[in-house]
Chain A
């Protein structure tokens, strides 16, 4: 792997304009003149006069050292501000431009019948692995909806976050409306054609500030397509989920067991295909921390030595 060094081009001007700043400052704001007008008349002046002559040279030398050190620190700071970076090999990256939010119900009932949550985790985990090129985000909801990971290309983190989730982390109830609301809030800043929410639940809306249908209306307004997945249970509110999906150009699925759930996610792959589009990026390694660290240690040195 070949790496090469580069400056961030948009910060190059710093070098020209910021570097001489101390000189300009000194020109316009000269240091206060030493108080030569007040002095203590001491009877033993002659003794200490000889002392000052002996040490005059040393004083100058140390101040020269001090100033050059100060300049070195300043130079390091300016260089750090210019963002030096190591660029890695170009890497092709799939980009679909799609923004996919996954909302997972973590209410009490998900623990029932052979632990639905663990099934959801494994199936959804595989689904996440497949969605290369999508920006993924994870919402967990219970009493309220919480954003677990914002939209990111980092599928690994999203999967980890999902696996770390447990029942009750967000409360006992089911706030479907809130989950949709939060998703809309996040997606409305993204490009219009690529706003997708996959909502997975096993109950009906029992908490939250917004009713699911009301939220769905908003989703329609912001062009967010919602795919709803209902997991078979006693109080599953299929009607609402169906309605939500219909209103927002989505689809409603009902899962009985693991195999079915798996199939649903595969069909989701069909509805929202993984696009074959590539973008070339380079891995950047920022080098400024080294410069800043050096500057920091030098300033400690200055503080200690020229106390």
Chain B
């Protein structure tokens, strides 16, 4: 496919081409599909909406404030009214373009995955008529985009994604914590926040901001990682890894070491999974060697 030709850099053309690969999905993740309807998580409704959807039988646990008294009186059975949240919901993309993202051992760089995922999400939002805002950050600077709707809003974002694409790798992380703080000031409550990052460098401060953000917004976390972060290469041997000054030799022969290596990733993964556990939050992960479009698509409702 076209976008596999170059796994390092990103071009405007391929980001625009993603437009026809969204398949008109809704940016509501699959896990949450029935929860709003069954009323188990009333909190996942932002402001409970104004659009009346339907009346159905009352189930224990439903909010009695939404009782449909008329229908209840007419039928003799308790009924309840269901509302749908507002259709228009701005989307904010938090794009991690830190120098640590300019790295990848299979198929693509992590930064490339970030760009593709951001573009795809933007197109999916535009299909729905949502406005798109973004905060693109690297180690040194941040680039803000206020929400704008339609094709213009997407194209503006795509250009920013191409223009701010990282140019060299470093062990430095992007300033995720600072960007989360900035986003809180930028965002309109009731938005969908998509954080596309590897979440390295997230500290207690950042966690606090995340908590605040998800109080009034839906949060979609996209964890981008490289297979090498997850496991040592399966082929036995000594692998030298360096930070530019020091060299470490990792012997994948040593099962103890390779297990500890894997555990390191799994620990981080479960930590993040726990962080995005609330019904209004959702986390999905993208490996650099995944089929990105398919993985993204499979996580959302058609």
Are A42 and B243 in contact (CB-based, < 8 A)? yes
B250 interface residue (CB < 8 Å to A): yes
A45 interface residue (CB < 8 Å to B): yes
Interface string of B77-101 (1 = CB under 8 A from A): 0000000000000000000000111
Interface window among A33-41, A172-180, A226-234, A277-285:
A33-41
Interface window among A49-57, A128-136, A200-208:
A49-57
A40-B256 CB under 8 A given contacts A48-B248, A49-B248: no
Complex formed: what's the CA distance from A43 to B250 in Å?
15
CB nearest to A305 among chain B residues = B255
Contacts of A42 in B (CB 8 A): 103, 171, 228, 241-243
Interface string of A22-42 (1 = CB under 8 A from B): 000000000000111011111
B75 interface residue (CB < 8 Å to A): no
Complex formed: what's the CA distance from A138 to B287 in Å?
77
Are A55 and B243 in contact (CB-based, < 8 A)? no
A2 interface residue (CB < 8 Å to B): no
Complex formed: what's the CA distance from A187 to B196 in Å?
92
Contacts of A58 in B (CB 8 A): 254, 256-257
Most chain-B CB neighbours within 10 Å: which of A36, A40, A306?
Answer: A40
Complex formed: what's the CA distance from A47 to B247 in Å?
13
A48-B264 CB under 8 A given contacts A43-B100, A55-B254: yes
Query: How many positions in chain A have a CB within 8 Å of any CB in the partner chain?
Result: 24
Q: Kindly identify, within residues 96 to 139 of chain B, every residue whose CB is under 8 Å from any CB belonging to chain A.
A: 99-101, 103, 105
Interface window among B204-212, B216-224, B232-240:
B232-240
Complex formed: what's the CA distance from A49 to B105 in Å?
19
Are A51 and B243 in contact (CB-based, < 8 A)? no
A39-B254 CB under 8 A given contacts A44-B200, A51-B261, A54-B260: no
Contacts of A55 in B (CB 8 A): 254, 256-257, 260
Complex formed: what's the CA distance from A52 to B171 in Å?
17
Are B264 and A51 in contact (CB-based, < 8 A)? yes
Contacts of A35 in B (CB 8 A): 238, 240
Chain B nearest Cβ from A17, distance in angstroms: 33
Are B241 and A48 in contact (CB-based, < 8 A)? yes
Are B100 and A39 in contact (CB-based, < 8 A)? no
Contacts of A47 in B (CB 8 A): 264
Contacts of A38 in B (CB 8 A): 240
A59 interface residue (CB < 8 Å to B): yes
Contacts of A43 in B (CB 8 A): 99-101, 103, 169-171, 173, 200
Chain A nearest Cβ from B11, distance in angstroms: 24
Complex formed: what's the CA distance from A239 to B250 in Å?
89
Are B240 and A36 in contact (CB-based, < 8 A)? yes
**What is the interface of chain A, defined by CB distance below 8 A to chain B?**
34-36, 38-49, 51-52, 54-55, 58-59, 62, 306-307
**What is the interface of chain B, defined by CB distance below 8 A to chain A?**
99-101, 103, 105, 169-171, 173, 200, 228-229, 236, 238-244, 246-251, 253-257, 260-261, 264
11 pairs of residues in contact across A and B, judged by CB atoms under 8 Å: A35-B240, A40-B240, A42-B103, A43-B170, A44-B171, A45-B243, A48-B241, A48-B261, A51-B260, A54-B260, A307-B255
